[in-house]
Amino acid sequence: MTVLVTGGAGYIGSHTLVCLLDLGYEVVVYDNLVNSSVKALRRVEEITGKNLEFVEGDVTDSGALDDLFAKYSIDAVIHFAALKAVGESSQLPLQYYETNVYGSLCLLNAMKKAGVNHFVYSSSATVYGEVNPSPYVETMELGSPSSPYGASKVMVERILADAVRVNPKFRAISLRYFNPIGAHPSGLIGEDPLGVPNNLLPFITQVAVGVRGNLSVFGGDYPTADGTCVRDYLHVMDLAEGHVAAIDWLAEQSNFNGVEAFNLGTGTGVSVLEIIASFEAATCQKINFEIVERRAGDLPAFWANAEKADKVLNWQAKRSLSEMMEDAWRWQSKNPNGFS
């Protein structure tokens, strides 16, 4: 089976490539490298001992997508390519909607023309918005996320619901990720944010490696056990395996026409202070931090109900919090400046 992986050079995409190649899938990566490096792809080849096809291009370029589907015989698509910085999306809403929504439309149209009918979409826990209580369950009504980034994820889920209705052969899965962290255990690939990291774990590892000073913990007065925000952190390799489970499930369903959403999380909430303590215990690195003002837009606490992915896809997040910390640290300490 040949899988087209858009955004495959990025953080989650590169880890998913390792799983796909290890299991014998052929992969074609399509990425414009706006937030990634071709070195990640070479490292994936080093880890797996397999070659992959890479085409540099933009998901909003319909002509290039048509050429791609004409050149390769694609069986299924995993669509990671997107802009993902929540704060930046409020500054650059049109750019975010163009890449994340229009880009998805271009891809879906190119798939339709080429007769490719299996689609796995990178959605996010952010689609549940502020209104739903945790644990989030897939049957909940989607919320109205305040950021253009979050809104773009809701919009594409909505587009998929309509697209499957008018094409009896089309089937899709939206994977709603919680908070992926960690890295491949080889330390050869990992998360490599541009500039100052927005997300917690890359900030912590950059403090530990000496690239940053103190960690600012955003808010210590939330209504949680220790006053800091609670999230559902999962190992990026567990998340990567969820994509293979999704691709396999789509291929196995002989008569299925529709879209199914799955939460991919551990089902357990962990606070920011617990993350710091876990990192320190797993790596013997001291993280200097101070508690500062809350960050605008942060929800106090959310985590997944991940039973549907277990029952239907036979997928579970298996790796422990300390493995997440050890692997994140191995990647950062071996690559203090990421891929550059």
Which 8-state DSSP code applies to residue 52? -
Q: What is the DSSP letter of 293?
A: P
Strand, helix or coil at 334?
helix
- The strand pair at 270-271 and 230-231 is best described as antiparallel
User: Minimum distance between the CB of residue 172 and ligand NAD, rounded to whole angstroms?
Assistant: 14
DSSP H stretches of helix in the chain? 11-22, 38-48, 62-71, 86-91, 93-97, 103-114, 148-166, 200-209, 236-252, 272-283, 307-313, 321-334
> What are the Cα distances from residue 45, in Å, to 28, 38, 49, 141, 173?
13, 11, 5, 41, 27
- Answer with the entry of ligand WQD, ligand NAD, none that 86 interacts with (C-beta below 5 to 8 A by kind): ligand WQD
Q: At what angle do helices 103-114 and 62-71 cross, to 10 degrees?
A: 40
Told to check if 295 binds ligand WQD by CB under 6 A, we report: yes
- Using a 10 angstrom Cβ sphere, with 0-12 exposed, 13-18 middle and 19 or more buried, the burial of residue 340 is exposed
User: Which partner, ligand NAD, ligand WQD, none, binds residue 31 by CB below 5 to 8 Å per kind?
Assistant: ligand NAD
**CB closer to ligand NAD out of 145 and 281:** 145
Q: Write the binding mask 242 to 261 for ligand WQD: x where contact by CB under 6 A, - elsewhere.
A: --------------------
Range 165-168, long-range pairs (CB < 8 A, 24+ positions): 167/112, 167/117, 167/257, 168/257
157 binds, among ligand WQD, ligand NAD, none (CB under 5 to 8 A by kind): none
Of 243, 91, 256, the closest CA to residue 169 belongs to 256
State which residue, 90 or 167, has the beta carbon closest to ligand WQD.
90
Q: Considering only 71-79, 159-167, 185-193, 215-223, which stretch makes contact with ligand WQD by CB under 6 A?
A: 215-223
C-alpha radius of gyration, the chain, whole number: 19
Per-residue contact track with ligand NAD, 128 to 167, x per CB under 6 A? ----------------------------------------
217 binds, among ligand NAD, ligand WQD, none (CB under 5 to 8 A by kind): ligand WQD
> Where does this chain touch ligand WQD (CB under 6 A) — which range of 5-13, 35-43, 165-173, 210-218?
210-218
Examine residue 21 and tell whether it contacts ligand NAD (CB under 6 A).
Answer: no
216 binds ligand WQD, rule: CB under 6 A: yes
Binder among 217, 247, 259, 309 for ligand WQD (CB under 6 A): 217
SS3 of residue 261 by DSSP = strand
Subset of 175-194 contacting ligand WQD (CB under 6 A): 179
Instruction: Count Cβ neighbours within 10 Å for each residue of 193-224 and write b for 16 or more, e otherwise.
Output: beeebebbbbbbbbbbbebbeebebbbbebeb
Q: Does 263 bind ligand NAD (CB under 6 A)?
A: no
Q: Which residues contact 183 (CB under 8 A, 6 or more apart)?
A: 15, 189, 190, 191, 236, 327, 328, 330, 331
- The answer to whether residue 177 is catalytic is no
Binding mask 95-134 for ligand NAD (x = CB under 6 A): ----x---x------------------x-x----------
Which of ligand WQD, ligand NAD, none is residue 36 near (CB under 5 to 8 Å by kind)?
Answer: ligand NAD
Catalytic residues, by residue number, are 149
The contact set with ligand WQD (CB under 6 A) reads 84, 86, 124, 126, 179, 198-200, 203, 215-218, 229, 231, 272, 295, 298
Q: Binding residues for ligand NAD, per CB under 6 A?
A: 7, 9-13, 31-36, 58-60, 80-84, 99, 103, 122, 124, 177, 179-180
